[in-house]
Amino acid sequence: MAVLLALYIVLVGQRAVAFIATGIPIGIGIGVALFVVAAIGALLLVLEFRFGVRITRLGARLEGEGGAPADVVPVRPSGRPTREAADELFPTYKAAVETDPSDWRGWYRLGVVYDAAGDRKRARAAMREALTRARV
């Protein structure tokens, strides 16, 4: 997906140059707008990669400490955990965060469980909190 987004950004940039090269005021306006869209897309792509790299490092750090979640849950044929199994684990990890909200490890584990349960928004929020607490 990232490669496709990068290709899209390049193509939009090329179209922006073509519109600006027309010299017509409306074409120049469209070209500038396309450059803005391409710049926003590029910025978001970089931010997502940065977030992914930082989370991966944090996960490796947790695993190196021997603190990776040890719970084994059944998975679907796609490899994703079943939501019901993740929902059963959720209270344990939420309680760990409530007990010690300053510990990044608890936030990271909670993010993993949220992700397994299919709640991407809360998973990302918990992972961001883990990054903040770990100061990575």
> pLDDT tens digit string along 79-120?
777 777 777 888 888 898 999 999 999 999 889 888 888 888
Give residue limits of the domains in the chain. Answer: 1-68, 81-136
Alpha carbons 115 and 85: distance in angstroms, whole number = 12
Fold of 81-136: 1.25.40
Q: Please give the Cα distance from 101 to 20 (Å, whole number).
A: 52
Report for 39-43, 65-69, 86-90: range of highest mean pLDDT: 39-43
d(CA 100, CA 111): 15
6 Cα distance to chain centroid = 17
At 118 the pLDDT is 80
Q: Find where tokens 């100061």 sit.
A: 135
Extract the tokens encoding 105. Answer: 């490890």
CA distance 130 to 58: 8
